[in-house]
Structure 1
Amino acid sequence: MIKVVLKSLSILEIVSANGRDPVRLSELAQQLGEKPSTVAGIVRTLTEAGYLQKDPVRGYHLGIMATTLTHSDLYKRNLLIAAKKHVADFARQNGLLLSLNVLRDNVRHTIMEVSDQGEVIMQTRANAAVMNSATGLVLLSHQPRHNQDEILEYYGLPRRFSGYEDFMHYLEEIKRTGYVEISRPVSRVAVGVPVWYDGQVVAGLGVFLTVEQRKQYDIKWVVGLLTDMSAKITRDMEQADKDEAATASS
């Protein structure tokens, strides 16, 4: 049993070290010096448990549960499971790129990205651009004022604002409307909405539109889609808590 656990950890380390590139079963077997059949059994178990995720084309990526092993402060299990349940179909049906982010220690962390083909890619990437991202601004708009001041002091006032009050008014408007739309490099537009849980905003859900898509889609339609999906994620997190509480009390 201990040997299997060690081999499982080695597999996760190999896949993690490969970054966004999937790792084939044959590559894992070669690096571990094990028979492909032995590695296949372990990989199947890890995949079923959510620690690995099969790539649509070839090989394996890290799965949802792998990210909770070393980043439990960032990755709430129920948030990841609920998001993954909905985002893939949404991205595939609408041909849009999606991003799920959280804010920790003044830094925005991307914890999940979804391609326009519906491929879910787990992330452990920190992004300093809180002020220049849709999800970062959404998250910041729901922070207490002293946290906003701290983050503003940390990054400095964005150039497009005339002063402190101008920026704070901008954040208040984001909070009031429930979304933000900003232009991004490489001819893209980003739209972000909050994800709520237990009365607080716990994540920012963002979508990336090409310039052509932005002309094609009405912004209210895009925001409506994101808000509906955010509500589904919230609902599933709350249901998961109820199920866990019921199991614990039985």
Structure 2
Amino acid sequence: MGVSAAMIIRDSERSIERCLNSIIAAVDEIVIVDTGSTDRTIEIVSSYCEAHEQVKLYHFEWINDFSAARNFSLSKVSHDWVFVVDSDDYLPADDRGKIKSYTSQMDQEGRKCVFDIVYDNSVDGKIVESIAYGYVRLFPSSLRYEDMIHEQIVYAPLERIRSDIHLEHDGYDMNQVDIKAKKKRNIELLILNLQQDQNNARLWMHLGREMSGLDNEKALRYLNLAESKTTNAELLGWIEMSKQDLIER
């Protein structure tokens, strides 16, 4: 039993200490997979490994596939539950006791499930958006991801539960991150993935969302294409919300 945190990182010197400090007491182990950092990230993480035996660092050659990297990290965890975080995430103090509490309850009941967390996007240290559903981050460590970009965990037939665990995230703060470079990378990987999986409505939706603000005509076309390829109510809701955001721009 127990909970491991799993994260993939690259050039994360800006935020990795903040992330690690926020989760180190909340889990039993932290598995960190670096995919090719060239800044001080390795030096910082190595200092945590020396100070805390539960922090473990691995290396994975980047192959333009987030699922491959994430699944490698999952293969290295030691516990039955895993909490997936990114280096630009931060676990608030009030939420640090919830992870073990919820998984221990499931263990006592002999149940397996996946938990959504509340994802709080922040700009300049202030939360500008809270997404209560759609981010499965706490789940049995035997599960695996699919899709090269905007990867998702494959959890059927397990129950999916909404939790009140919050994660703050500043990865879309233009004051901290090169958003244009991030969008370019995401669009390139989405197109590459869609060449292999042209009926993936979720990827078409994400391509539409990434194109928003760059080419709104293409964005709408991709969102309509996504809509035509799914009957999933949750996904249709995300597509409709994305269209509304596009209209309001």
Which fold has the larger relative contact order, with Cα–Cα distance below 8 Å and residues 6 or more apart in sequence?
2
**Bigger radius of gyration, 1 or 2?**
1
State whether TM-score is above 0.5: no
Q: Which has the higher helix share?
A: 1
For normalisation by structure 1, the TM-score amounts to 0.27
For normalisation by structure 2, the TM-score amounts to 0.27
